Chain A
Amino acid sequence: MEKRSRLGTFLGMAFLAIVVVPPVYYMVIASLKPRSAIYRTPSWLPERSSLDNYAKVLRDDNFLVNIGNSLIVALATTLLAMVLGVLAAYAIARFKFPGRNAASQLILMSYLTPLVLLFIPLSVVVGNLGLADTLSGLVLVYLTFAVPLCTWLILGHFREFPPDLEEAASLDGASKMRTLVSVLLPVSAPALATAASLAFMMAWGELFLALTFVKGQGVMTAPVALQHMSTGDVQQYGPIMAGAVLSAIPVLVVYYISQKWVIQGAAEGAFKG
């Protein structure tokens, strides 16, 4: 029994590695290579490696500014979307009010129009608000996908959680909002962290809308800056991958921290239960 489970663990780890690692590995070694080592003499070995691409991205392109912009946009989007999402999900899961079903349907249906098209009318809205080419404008635009996403993920978990506990709390005289904050949120920690990290990642990596809404050098987010490295018909593969590696670091840090917090949150929730 013990042996079998250890074999299972090993197989599991091997499976994960085979699925995820090869493309990531290839992208990372590409970030270390000059152009001709990618196209003319391609290889799975890190031949002719150097940090030149990283130097170019950081020194010539001032990429850290773009990472900073992305960080601001992604954090603001996540925070706003989580607050709006938690409130909406709580209301839909626990209250009876006119238009409740309509609201929940609307939030989901709102996803249906593809961004490819949405960006034209959206740029009219953002332009009218005077937020064209600003980070705030981009945050506002990102709420279009972050709010429905957070609401739905959180809603799923709120619904699964038996209302008895909260009823017990409200019998104790706690208000609805107190119940939300002190009972429901702690036990939903894993779901909250998941929703938040997904929203963060989507805002972090979004390109299509960002291309339209932030054009100025000072407000470009990381993906836009990376995309600008391919000019005309020359793909700067190495620098782009170097930038990608650099811009993946903050996301992984955020996820790592949220993971720790999740496990803690889940444990606390369990004790209370």
Chain B
Amino acid sequence: MRHLRKMQAVGSLAAIALLAAGCSTPANNKDAVAAEGLGTPSAEVAQAAKDFKGPFTYWIGLTFPESSNDLEAARIKAWGDNLGIQTQVVKVNQNEVVQQTSGAIEAKSLPSAMTVPYDLMSTMGTGGQLSPVPDSYAAIGEAHGGWLKSIDSATKAKSFGGKVYGVPFGFFGSVLFSRADLLKQKGFDAPPKTWDELLAQSKATQTPPKTYGMGFALSNVLDGNLTTSIMQSFGGRVADDAGKKCTINSPETATFLKWIKGAFDAGQFPPSVVTWDGAGDNNSYTSGESLFIVNTGSVYQSMKKDDPELAKASAYSALPAGPVAQVAPVDPRYRVVPSSTSDAGKILAQDLFKTLADDTYMAGFMENATYGPVLNSQLKYPVFTDSPVHAGLLKQAEKGTAPAFPDTANAAYSDYQNAFSTPRMVQRVVVDKVAIDKAMAEAQASCQKIYDQHAS
């Protein structure tokens, strides 16, 4: 008997080894897309390629699904091969991009070029760690029918002082996922348009402890920052228009906190939202626990593969509006060049940005990812009509709000968000049962400290 089990174990190991051996099946389609439209480089770029020393390193933002990362890496390699320079692609997980960049800034070991979220571009740009790229931004916009309005205003935010620090290629948006199958049974045929409607639908449909309505993270993770958008849609503001003085402590914020506390105390949130990790909404929704979640779309990509029935039973719509406004921030991803990159490297980086903006390549890339469009030419990509989540992102591209809106986008605001300040304030109220005034005063103080540091 024991012998038999051993044999089985050896068998499984052999199977694993076989699988490992048969590993190099080239994806021809991928290679074709990656090499699309690589022409002869201009004289300037060719010269820069000659002058450039060392491998050209690019940090790409690792996103779901993996095929998108592989495609981008292949594209960068093809570009380098075409120019005769050595390239090195490093995949940086979104979850620790702040940590990794901080280490690299201090150690002066930033890559030749990299992909960063809006907040990081904002803090690095105002910190003098990025080289402005206005010409590439203009040229790429022109070549692709122009930048979308919300993206353009985000890129040219006032706090950048007229400088353009990066070239956007797509944005992370917020799509409301709802369990249309269950909601329909209760007579809700359309997704909620306001947060109050959502609360009402949740109350009528949820059947705790099996299902809960509001699967929104209230924990110390980036997903928790959805609460900042809700707060703003209730009229609350992080800071004044000048972007210098925190204004968290306000009657509007109090209204928002009362609303969310009411919903929490009424048991509309799954109890675990206060300690969800970055995957909490995803896991809860795919486990069938939550009726509503807000997500960039990666949940759809993973459902499509693992649970197509649930993907079909879901509806995808825009973020609800609050009593004061609808706040659905786009979070553009930027390609940036650190100021530490050599002059030749800066020329190469901008040539790479152009190569990566190619429409045939981008159409293939976006099919494999969950980005919303930033350029007019991207609106025509088939994925934005074929996939319901991408269609939602397309709508957000037209109607969504700029990052930080109605607040002023600047480095201090980014750092406020990076510290998970709003969800921490909410937790003080719903978990610690602290008085709303006290929680607001605390958040106000730590917010002001962040803003003061940026003022100096």
Residues of A within 8 A of B (CB): 34-36, 39-40, 42, 51, 54-55, 58-60, 62, 64, 119-121, 123-124, 126-128, 132-133, 211-212, 215-217, 227-228, 230-235
Does B271 sit at the interface, judged by CB under 8 A? no
The answer, yes or no, to whether B8 is at the interface (CB within 8 Å) is no
Tell me if B93 and A227 are in contact (CB < 8 A): yes
Contacting residues, chain A, for B283 (C-beta < 8 A): 39, 235
Name 17 extra pairs, CB < 8 A, besides A119-B103, A234-B279.
A34-B306, A35-B302, A35-B307, A39-B286, A40-B310, A42-B287, A58-B19, A123-B106, A123-B109, A124-B106, A216-B88, A230-B93, A231-B94, A232-B64, A232-B278, A234-B64, A234-B65
Cα separation A216 to B278 with both chains bound (whole Å): 24
In the complex, what residues of A have CB within 8 A of residue B62's CB?
A: 228, 231-232
Contacts of A235 in B (CB 8 A): 279, 282-283
Using a CB–CB distance below 8 Å, which chain B residues touch chain A?
Answer: 12, 15-16, 19-20, 22-23, 59, 62-66, 69, 88-96, 99-100, 102-104, 106-109, 223, 278-279, 281-283, 286-288, 295-296, 298-299, 301-302, 306-307, 310
Measured CB to CB, the nearest residue on chain A to B302 is A234
Give chain B's interface secondary structure class.
Answer: helix
Q: A30 to chain B: closest CB distance in Å?
A: 13
Of the A-B pairs whose beta carbons lie under 8 Å apart in the complex, a sample of 16, sorted by A's number, is A36-B307, A59-B22, A64-B20, A120-B102, A120-B106, A121-B106, A123-B106, A124-B107, A127-B109, A128-B107, A212-B100, A215-B59, A217-B89, A231-B65, A231-B93, A234-B282
Q: How far is the CA of A127 from the CA of B283 in the complex (A)?
A: 39
Set of chain B residues within 8 Å of A59, measured between Cβ atoms: 19-20, 22-23
Whether B103 contacts A233 by the Cβ 8 Å rule is no
Task: Identify the closest chain A residue to B20 (Cβ).
Answer: A58
| Residue in A120, A215, A233 whose beta carbon sits within 8 Å of that of B279 in the complex | A233
Measured between beta carbons, the chain A residues less than 8 angstroms from B223 are 233
Establish whether residues B91 and A127, one from each chain, have CB atoms under 8 Å apart when the complex forms: no
B100 engages A211 (CB within 8 Å) = yes
Nearest A-chain residue to B369, judged by Cβ: A232
Whether the pair A232, B107 counts as a contact (CB closer than 8 A) is no
CA distance A227 to B96 in the complex (A): 11
Give the distance in Å from the alpha carbon of A132 to the alpha carbon of B109 in the complex.
8
**Using Cβ atoms and an 8 Å threshold, which residues of chain B touch A60?**
23, 66
The distance in angstroms between the C-alpha atoms of A215 and B295, with both chains bound, is 28
Residue of B nearest to A130 (CB): B109
Q: Which of A35, A121, A216 contacts B90 (CB 8 A)?
A: A216
Residue of A35, A228, A231, A235 contacting most chain B CB atoms (<10 Å): A231
Known contacts being A123-B103, A215-B100, is A233 close to B93, with CB within 8 Å?
no
From A39, A55, A62, A120, residue with most partner B Cβ within 10 Å = A39
Q: How far is the CA of A117 from the CA of B310 in the complex (A)?
A: 43
Cβ contact of A58, chosen from B23, B94, B95, B287, cutoff 8 A: B23
Q: Are B282 and A132 in contact (CB under 8 A)?
A: no
Contacts of B16 in A (CB 8 A): 51, 54-55, 58
Please state if A127 and B22 are interface contacts (CB–CB under 8 Å).
no
Are A233 and B278 within 8 A (Cβ)?
Answer: yes
Nearest neighbor of A215 in chain B, beta-carbon distance:
B90
The 10 A-B pairs at the shortest CB distance, nearest first, are namely A127-B107, A123-B107, A58-B20, A123-B103, A235-B279, A39-B287, A59-B23, A234-B64, A35-B306, A55-B19
B residues in contact with A212, CB < 8 Å: 99-100, 103
